Structure 1
Amino acid sequence: MSRTVRLFQLMQALRRLPSPATAAALAQETGVSERTLYRDIEALRGLGAVIDGAAGYGYTLIEDPHMPPLSFTDDEIEALVLGLSEVAALGDPALAEGAQSALSKLRARLPERQAQQLRHAVLTAHRFDPPVPPAVDSRAIRQAMRTEVAICFDYVDAAGQATARHVKPLSIVLFDRSHCLLAWCLLRKDFRMFRLDRMAALEITGDSFRPERVPLLRSYLERLREEIAGNRDRAG
């Protein structure tokens, strides 16, 4: 690991860990000895980071020179905490980790009063019945959607029938307790929805379908809205 990467990880750890963070905890986070950790703290201070504390007392990041202060209204802070807490509760493991990291970065950038409010927000989100975890790497699927490349995977439907699918991934949505992939299926030549917990053997093919994702997704969402409206009319 390069020294630059190690210092970046140390800054992240200082933002994330409860203050004051002990040298032992910081060393464990960055995978170095405590002796190296002390040198890295001094290196960050030399680069302009204001870090309070000393060996035996723990360290607190007072000022991050790379992240200038932000200011939010009280309601904006509550909305940020509620939204990121919901992602942490409902997202896949990578998104949940990203939500926690985003909250840590916000705390580092806010003025002290607002950072305190963020730590003790009156709104949050808890889920006692979390979604079923994906069986494949959902982060890889999201990257395939961003770059608009097709993916392949094995799939088992609700009836237990197994098929191999080659699709153009469009979006991931949460329905009830399942993360579902909205896609154009090249096997069925139509829009299809796939539960991530029923997928296996994911492969990113590299076959580009740019710039089709946005118009395809728009068409699929419109179809879903029409189906929902039709079901409501029949139920009424």
Structure 2
Amino acid sequence: MSRSDRLIRLMQVLRRLPSPVTASRLAEEMEISERSIYRDIQSLRSSGAIIDAEAGFGYTLTEDPSLPPMHFDADEVDALALGLHTVSKLGNSEFTHAAQNALVKLEASLPQNMRQRLRHATVGSHIMRNTPFSEADFSGLRESIWNEQAVFLEYFDLNDRCSKRKVWPLTIYFFNEVQALIAWCCLRQDFRMFRLDRIRSMEFLDEFFRPKRVGLLREYFEREKECE
């Protein structure tokens, strides 16, 4: 691999890995020495990349619109096509529209040969399922997740028993047949999952739990991994 290709790959790794990322983690990902990482980081900085470093924590890349965009290779274009086409078939009207718009924008940004690759991708998906209808405010719920805003739910379980909970919404997950909110339940002081089609009403509260969302999500997924 040429040094220029290695620098481009390092930029992509910095974009992909959660920041801050240590030199040892970068070296492991790039399969080079930590000393080479230090030199390459300095070269990227000299070229205009904004890469902050904090002792004991690692590097953080700040995207700069003045830098040239990264180009997608054939595998990445196929992966993007598969992902966006799959999202457009999930039965969620907002994401269907968003995925279609994203495909148009992506195609416009690609060179001609990759546009053809996107239009005639070598992979595809087919989803045969009926997603239960949900009256939940999907857009409002996503915004409350991003803002780390508490939500009061009126929820009916599978036995149609009603409960009212204040929760800290963490993420919405798309499963095979349902969409569900993963949240921290303030009543139970534990993680809970709420199917969107079983939520009857939501109230967005003037209460925020920032900056706990990332840590709680990490803990949730660690627990899930232990149960596998």
Q: TM-score of the superposition, structure 2-length normalised?
A: 0.65
Q: Give the structure 2 partner of residue 114 of structure 1.
A: 114
One-letter amino acid of the structure 1 residue matched with residue 165 of structure 2: R
Q: Give the structure 1 partner of residue 85 of structure 2.
A: 85
CA distance in 2, matches of 1:118, 1:220: 35
CA contact (8 A) 1:92 1:138 kept: no
**Residue 72 to residue 189, structure 1, CA distance change in 2 (3 Å):** closer
Spell out, residue by residue over 1:140-188, the C-alpha distance to the aligned partner (whole angstroms, 9 max, x if none): 1111111111011210001110111210001111233111111111222
Spell out, residue by residue over 1:85-126, the C-alpha distance to the aligned partner (whole angstroms, 9 max, x if none): 121122632122111111000111122232122112221222
Q: How many residues align?
A: 161
The aligned runs of 1:150-229 (5 Å cut-off) are 150-226=150-226, 228-229=227-228
Q: Indicate the structure (1 or 2) with the bigger Cα radius of gyration.
A: 1
One-letter amino acid of the structure 2 residue matched with residue 139 of structure 1: S
Q: Give the structure 1 partner of residue 32 of structure 2.
A: none
In the TM superposition, residue 208 of structure 1 has moved relative to its aligned partner by 0.6
One-letter amino acid of the structure 2 residue matched with residue 199 of structure 1: I
CA distance in 1, matches of 2:125, 2:207: 39
One-letter amino acid of the structure 2 residue matched with residue 94 of structure 1: E
CA distance in 2, matches of 1:215, 1:138: 23
Q: Give the structure 2 partner of residue 125 of structure 1.
A: 125
Structure 1 residues not aligned, in runs of 5+:
1-67, 230-236
CA distance in 1, matches of 2:176, 2:210: 30
One-letter amino acid of the structure 1 residue matched with residue 90 of structure 2: L
Q: In angstroms, what is the RMSD of aligned CA positions?
A: 2.0
Q: What percent of counterpart residues are identical?
A: 42
Structure 2 residues not aligned, in runs of 5+:
1-67
**Residue 210 to residue 82, structure 1, CA distance change in 2 (3 Å):** same
One-letter amino acid of the structure 2 residue matched with residue 136 of structure 1: A
One-letter amino acid of the structure 1 residue matched with residue 89 of structure 2: A
CA distance in 2, matches of 1:187, 1:69: 47
In the TM superposition, residue 190 of structure 1 has moved relative to its aligned partner by 1.9
One-letter amino acid of the structure 1 residue matched with residue 115 of structure 2: A
In the TM superposition, residue 69 of structure 1 has moved relative to its aligned partner by 8.4
Q: Give the structure 2 partner of residue 103 of structure 1.
A: 103
In the TM superposition, residue 202 of structure 1 has moved relative to its aligned partner by 1.6
CA distance in 2, matches of 1:133, 1:143: 20
Q: Give the structure 2 partner of residue 34 of structure 1.
A: none
CA distance in 2, matches of 1:94, 1:213: 24
CA distance in 2, matches of 1:181, 1:143: 13
**Residue 130 to residue 72, structure 1, CA distance change in 2 (3 Å):** farther
CA contact (8 A) 1:170 1:181 kept: yes
The aligned runs of 1:134-145 (5 Å cut-off) are 134-145=134-145
CA contact (8 A) 1:168 1:186 kept: yes
CA distance in 2, matches of 1:157, 1:222: 26
CA contact (8 A) 1:170 1:182 kept: yes
CA distance in 1, matches of 2:192, 2:160: 17
CA distance in 2, matches of 1:198, 1:73: 42
Comparing 192-201 with 123-132, greater Cα deviation is found at: 123-132
Q: TM-score of the superposition, structure 1-length normalised?
A: 0.63
